[in-house]
Chains A and B, each alone.
Chain A
């Protein structure tokens, strides 16, 4: 049993076919061809699948695609194509905050959601830790990530 829907992703409408239980993550990866969001655990614990829906960070492995009809979904591919997301990615490069990279798209998206709701320079270390506590990284030990987010937060927007 499948149904047609329109999913608005990164500012473009995608007419896709989904089942009632198709996850947003799978719709993005396999219907829209956007594989930046990753399946790390499937239980909402690792954050590798993080995207934003109407600006808020969500685990796309816990959301059905049909729930997102009429909402604006953004993935790492769209977020880093320009604006604040591109700046965030640049700071991650400078801080050497990426190793294997599997968690990185999700961390970029959680960062983008944080910066969207805070004034430049306003995010404290506690705010950053709270925003990223749902994103596991097994390679870096997190300190370069913290540094990159601090810098991105302080940059003029």
Chain B
């Protein structure tokens, strides 16, 4: 690593003002629903009213005859190929069977939205309803009620075996068991899902609110048996994604209708359609046991994670591996027996939501730490400290940790803040009780592929072409151009960004997995460095100086250490264009996979986590014991994400993530009844935090002394971690306040009141059971 990697920069690490802010604030930014094309049809889906059933017939005649209706499609009109990110199980329209309430069965396209809606209501679906399986535990064990034509509802089964777990459990000082259950939460981006398909020669184009246009293109090419290049995916501004826009969404339906009508077709979901058709954070059951010694050192862990996939697999297969990998928390545990399973149910398909599987795995691992501490009579922070993973240790799959572990540094800051809060005076008229808690976690940064092209023009300005997708974080719109500016010694406003789809830029694997700044950033920096080298070579010829002695700074190519020498970059670029050719380069990046050792992995979708990041959150809550209402009074978030490229944007990621995490913990709960119907699929009954609900201050701190060896300028990923800790921190604060840990999420008023009632009904106070429900019989393993 050169000194420059840890040095001071002109742009990186400085406060960057969003380039696209004014346009967004003044209503001039174009989102997918803002674009209406000539001759465009409006598509409306006809959705299944039942959770399970056999389709006896679909009568579209009345709908098709309505004035203004151009076409009605059902399964018989489209390919029978299935789609899905990992398991191809989803049909464009339900064929023979329906599997969840809201599943698309048919689609109407009409010249106006009103007509399309009316016609959709006139499509008559004759379904013989069958018994659905809605409950996760029932689906896990049932061999009778099966969601798909398979002999089990289990679609994914991942094992990690490491060390001799049985032997350690047999001889350990104590074994502590923790079991939690978690709920569903919706991404609830403000822009509902939207797509417009447009006919194009040999294929079609899409205008789509998506987080990964290249993934959409690849899957649609396969689904419709078209060459990849015959499909173009353009991404207008995305009004939030949070993992909810990683899938094909309704692109297959829109594309099928465009292919059938040769006209542009737009599908804009209503909020209700959006919330019942996909893909909330999955509900889950996490059972965790640790074998510990007297000091609280965790010698071995067993963990059994069951995720509810809903009716189709979507991302759940890979989330199952992630959930299994995060079963250790940020702790070194040398003997592991972890099993992760995903299970089909007749409910709305679940999928990625910012930090997928994170909130419940952190909740389980941190509740387990506190259960261990309670059993052994130790301070939970001390138990954490004795187990933190760090440099030289091996992670859950046997990967070597090559970065310093900084969870302890993060936690020390939080502990000191919690002490201050405990000492502060409570207003006399405030009868609410206070609770203080913290949670620790690690997470990793996805290093999936990216390419970027940088071209330096004759006038000394540059264009960055990135396939990366701006979803609102500013990482693409603002941070990437500043990285190019840094490498080329230009002012950021001399770098023009071209991005937003598959047409103008090479491949990028999407805005997800906290990867954009890291992986898309790496590709961008590699391209910029190659361009800088071309410029140095050209300047070397012009100046007769060794290229190694030349630097690019402030718009000039200068001899290192001799400012004002050399030439302007514009002159060098113009010369290169005439003498050796255009100044352009493409950077390509894929994180190297470090070898794993000592773990036996079965059924895993990937082999190791990416470069780790370390985190601790602390919270002060107030509980109204009469109503069960919990308010967050103070919050501190401490993160080690390596170099912070843009402090303003980073703070925005943390605060936004923390508030989403608070919503997940306290108020958000997408509920499905026993008939598989989502009962609160709207913004009135599904309670997102409002400005009146957030704490007055969220303190955001970064540990900036542990830069990544592989990230651009030492950066790692930040997008997901802030959302995965708040529930565990609030759970810890409730435990502090109530004397018992709630083992069910969310921690809403009902749960808090129930937890208090269960505590008070316990026969022998002072001997808390480790779960609030009787232990289930172990499922066969």
Contacts and interface: CB of A to CB of B under 8 A. Distances in A.
Interface of A: 29-30, 34-43, 45-46, 48, 75-77, 80-81, 89, 92-94, 96, 98-105, 108, 125, 128-130, 132-146
Contacts of A42: 270-271
9 contacts: A29-B34, A35-B30, A76-B26, A94-B17, A101-B20, A102-B240, A138-B656, A141-B658, A141-B694
A75 B691 contact: no
A37 to B, nearest CB: 7
Nearest to B661: A141
Interface in B184-207: 187-192
Contacts of A39: 33, 192, 268
A93 B582 CA distance: 37
A93 to B, nearest CB: 5
B2 to A, nearest CB: 31
B119 interface: no
Interface stretch (B103-111, B548-556, B573-581, B682-690): B682-690
Contact of A76 (B17, B27, B471, B472): B27
B705 interface: no
B239 A89 contact: no
A39 B113 CA distance: 14
Contacts of A137: 190, 691
Interface stretch (B287-295, B328-336, B533-541, B647-655): B647-655
Interface SS majority for chain B:
loop
Contact of A100 (B27, B190, B660): B190
B21 A136 contact: no
A104 B690 contact: no
A46 B20 CA distance: 23
B190 A48 contact: yes
B762 interface: no
Contacts of A144: 652, 655
B474 A99 contact: yes
Interface in B488-521: none
Pairs A-B, 7 closest by C-beta atoms: A36-B27, A101-B24, A100-B472, A102-B239, A141-B659, A141-B655, A45-B683
B190 A98 contact: no
A103 to B, nearest CB: 5
Given A41-B271, A100-B471, A100-B472, A143 B655 contact: yes
Given A36-B27, A108-B25, A133-B690, A99 B656 contact: yes
A137 B30 CA distance: 18
Nearest to B655: A141
B649 A40 contact: no
A129 B18 CA distance: 25
Contact of B691 (A45, A96, A129): A129
A41 B682 contact: yes
Contacts of A89: 22, 25-26
A32 to B, nearest CB: 12
B473 interface: yes
A16 to B, nearest CB: 16
Contact of B652 (A30, A46, A99, A130): A99
Contact of B189 (A45, A98, A134, A138): A138
Given A34-B27, A42-B270, A101-B472, A93 B684 contact: no
B691 A135 contact: yes
Contacts of A125: 696
A101 B656 contact: no
Contacts of B694: 141-143
B404 to A, nearest CB: 29
